[in-house]
Structure 1
Amino acid sequence: MSTSSLGLWLERSRLDGMVLGGVSYGVYLLLTIQSLAALTRRPRQGGKIADNRLMLISYIVITFILGTLCFAANARYTQMIWIDLRNVPGGPLELIENEMAYRINVLAISSGHVQEWFMQALLLYRCFVVWNRQIYVAILMISLYIAMIGLSIFIQVKASKGIAFYNIGPAELAYLCITMGFTVIYTFLVAYRLLVMRRDMKQVLAQYDSSTYDAIVMMIVESAAVYSIIAILFIVAFALHYNGITTMCFLSIGQLQGIAQLLIIIRVATGRAVTHESTRMAAPPTTLEFSGATSDITEESDDQRVARPGRDIVHTYSTSKKAAEAGECIV
């Protein structure tokens, strides 16, 4: 492929990426409105959702503002490429390859990265809730989160100095791998934990309907699947210097991750969320002992029963009525 053909491919990729980004942003906007509407209604199941309502609303508003800034900056620069600055030396190809020389693109990448911080922080919090803040899970996830933020800051500093995005190199590749790895590990940990909870509930309550847990796991996996596929494609393309594919993925990946998060939040807002208490619902059975008569009523007289005290053993479980309705729980 000639140099001119490569240039045309990169230009087409920029335009196609903006079209895909516009579609994904439209879906993101719609889900944002739906999630805010769900959170501003009275919770169907009571107080648990209300406790976190303000936090979730703040998260949605902040991430949406950051995502909108990122999309708007990319849209504005796309206009600059073919309209406002079309006569610059080197033409559109020069503008695409050296986009970080313009502050509007530094704004785009910075707002996208900060949005990523908030989205991954929500995953981190939810993982803690489902795993009941177990220390080894906390160490793993916090370490990945800190590494992601450190690399993100390094990349933003590099971008602010005008270094071409495609030339940031190993730091950007490491950042992308850690970001995607964080999401994949979160999905695995939460799905595994929920399946264990489902098994424990079935051991405690033989007739317990576990279909809701199955639906929960499927929802978590499905919501992360699209983002993970695009992220893997992004990483491979960036590593192999397929700049056209990299551009298309870059312009829509933030919205796709936001969509995956909002699908979960909408479920949370409707009262089907795993809480700190629900992770303890399927505890092993305990035994309570009460003094009483152990004889058969049909064979012993009242006097005999009084004269020979015994103990009835009553097995109870830590599963309350609310636990029996654990189908309301999801991440």
Structure 2
Amino acid sequence: MASTELATERALYVGNMISTAIYGGNLFLYAYSTYLLMTSSKQVQHRIFYICFGGFLLLLLTISVAGNIAFCELMWIERRNNPGGPPAFFAANMSAWYNAFATAAMCLANMMTDGLLLYRCYIIWGSRLPVIVIPGIIYLGSATMAVMMVIESAMPMSNLWRGLPAQFAISWIALTVSFNIIVTALIISRLLFFYRRVRSFLNDEQRNIYTGIVAILVESTLPFTVLGIVSLATYIQGAPCAMGIEIIWATFMVLSPQLIILRVASGVAWSKDTACNITQHATFPRNSSSGSSTISMHSKNP
């Protein structure tokens, strides 16, 4: 077996192991978020939407993970004695129905995740439509490339890592990563702007909830964006580790929005009211008699 083939199989194995662990985290986050949404005494708008949205994302992730595991089980166990061994099976079955199904599930999950991220950017920027025009155009281009990639990858004897399917895949990942970079930068800049503006008016707990490191990482899906950049770079270079990284990246497509939904369920996510309250309270000076801020940051979540 060539060293590149061995490295590819090793990356596939490691990627599946890590993705399975992250899948367990996604399962817990969805169950806990659903519990909070159903039992919270706070009024949470679109409660049913977030429950259904997170559940469908989890279903898509289940399909993707199951497809990858089925492919590896056939390649390494059931069909390992076929002529050419695992490398030949790998090359001949990239367009198998379970692989095409898993790829389609991954792309649909990405569309849903990017759609939620675009909506969150719209909310955090105070419902300013011009802010999301360019990201919205990129989002539509990414969705188009994803559909074309799925169609081409399902053709008989096609290979997602070569030829036309690979070109569509690179275009899809490049557009998705570009979208994530722009939207992530917009959200982070907005949160940092509010942090600088109101840091003297909020107590430590309020700053951590709305403009702290955790809020920035979750609301902007920064880890997902960084992992997407790494996935794109390895895919273009044809590195053996590219497949493993892409599998892990796919699990973050679901993990990132599940974390946002958890913040919504916990009542600490940003909303239109949050931005409005920060803007209004930032214009008032401290209460001179008490020496403390009179800000109340409690607001309804979207």
TM range (shorter): 0.7 to 0.9
Q: Which residue of 2 aligns with 1:293?
A: none
Whether 2:232 is the aligned partner of 1:226: answer no
2:246 counterpart of 1:250: yes
Q: How many angstroms apart in 1 are the aligned matches of 2:9 and 2:188?
A: 41
Q: Which residue number corresponds to residue 135 of structure 2?
A: 141
Q: Distance in 1 between matches of 2:92 and 2:205?
A: 52
How far apart are residue 22 of structure 1 and its match?
1.3
The equivalent of 2:50 in structure 1 is 56
- Listed one character per residue, the Cα deviations across residues 208-230 of structure 1 (whole Å, up to 9, x for unaligned) are 33653455441244343432332
Q: CA–CA distance in 1 between the matches of 2:217 and 2:166? A: 31
Q: Per-residue CA shift, 1:286-322, capped at 9, x if unaligned?
A: 9xxxxxxxxxxxxxxxxxxxxxxxxxxxxxxxxxxxx
Match of 2:34 among 13, 33, 36: 36
Deviations for 1:31-90, whole angstroms, at most 9, x for unmatched residues?
1222112211124xx32x2x1211110110110011101111111111111122223332
Evaluate the alpha carbon distance shift between residue 222 and residue 194 of structure 1 in structure 2; reply closer, same or farther with a 3 A threshold.
closer
Q: Does residue 176 in structure 1 map to residue 173 in structure 2? A: yes
1:90 partnered with 2:84: yes
Counterpart residue number, 1:166: 161
SS in 1 for 2:241: helix
Mean Cα displacement is larger for which, 82-91 or 14-23?
Answer: 82-91
For residue 275 of structure 1, what is the amino acid of its counterpart? Answer: S
| Cross-structure match for 1:269 | 265
Give 1:192's aligned amino acid: S
In structure 2, how many angstroms separate the alpha carbons of the residues matched to 1:285 and 1:115? 38
Change (3 A) 1:284 1:11: closer
Q: Select 2:126's aligned residue among 129, 132, 155.
A: 132
Mean Cα deviation higher: 214-223 or 111-120:
214-223
| CA distance, structure 2, for counterparts of residue 260 and residue 329 of structure 1 | 21
Change (3 A) 1:329 1:81: same
Give 1:102 shift: 0.8
Secondary structure at 1:192 match in 2: helix
Amino acid of the structure 1 residue aligned with 2:96 = Y
Please name the residue that 2:288 is paired with.
none
Residue of structure 2 aligned with 1:324, choices 289, 295, 301: 295
Residue type of the alignment partner of 2:214: M
Contact 1:212 1:327 in 2 (8 A): no
Match of 1:316 in 2: none
CA root-mean-square deviation: 2.6
Write the distance in 2 (CA, Å) between the matches of 1:68 and 1:137.
Answer: 34
Q: Residue 68 and residue 139 in structure 1: after superposition, are their counterparts in 2 closer, same or farther (change >3 A)? A: same
Q: Which amino acid aligns with 2:266?
A: T
The equivalent of 2:3 in structure 1 is 5
CA-CA distance at 1:118 after TM superposition: 1.0
Q: Which residue of 1 aligns with 2:17?
A: 19
Contact kept, 8 Å, 1:220 with 1:264, in 2: the verdict is: no
Give the conservation status (yes or no) of the 8 Å contact 2:170–2:232.
yes
Q: For structure 1, which segment, 62-71 or 25-34, has the greater mean C-alpha deviation from structure 2 after superposition?
A: 25-34
Aligned to 1:306: none
Question: 1:195-234, aligned counterparts within 5 Å?
Answer: 195-201=192-198, 207-209=201-203, 212-217=206-211, 218-223=213-218, 224-234=221-231
Equivalent-residue separation in structure 2 for 1:132 and 1:221 (angstroms)? 17
Aligned equivalents of 1:258, 1:285: Cα separation in 2: 35
Report percent identity of matched pairs: 20
Count of matched residue positions in the alignment of Structure 1 and Structure 2: 286
Any stretches of 5+ residues in structure 1 without a counterpart? 287-322
Say if 1:185 and 1:212 are closer, same or farther in 2 by CA, change over 3 A. Answer: farther
Q: Which has the larger radius of gyration?
A: 1
Flag the 1:285–1:219 CA change in 2: closer, same or farther, 3 A: closer
- Structure 1 or 2: larger strand share? 1
Counterpart code for 1:237: T
Greater shift, 57-66 or 248-257, is seen at: 248-257
Partner SS for 1:251: helix
Q: Contact (CA 8 Å) 1:210, 1:327: kept in 2 or not?
A: no
C-alpha displacement at 1:158, in angstroms? 0.7
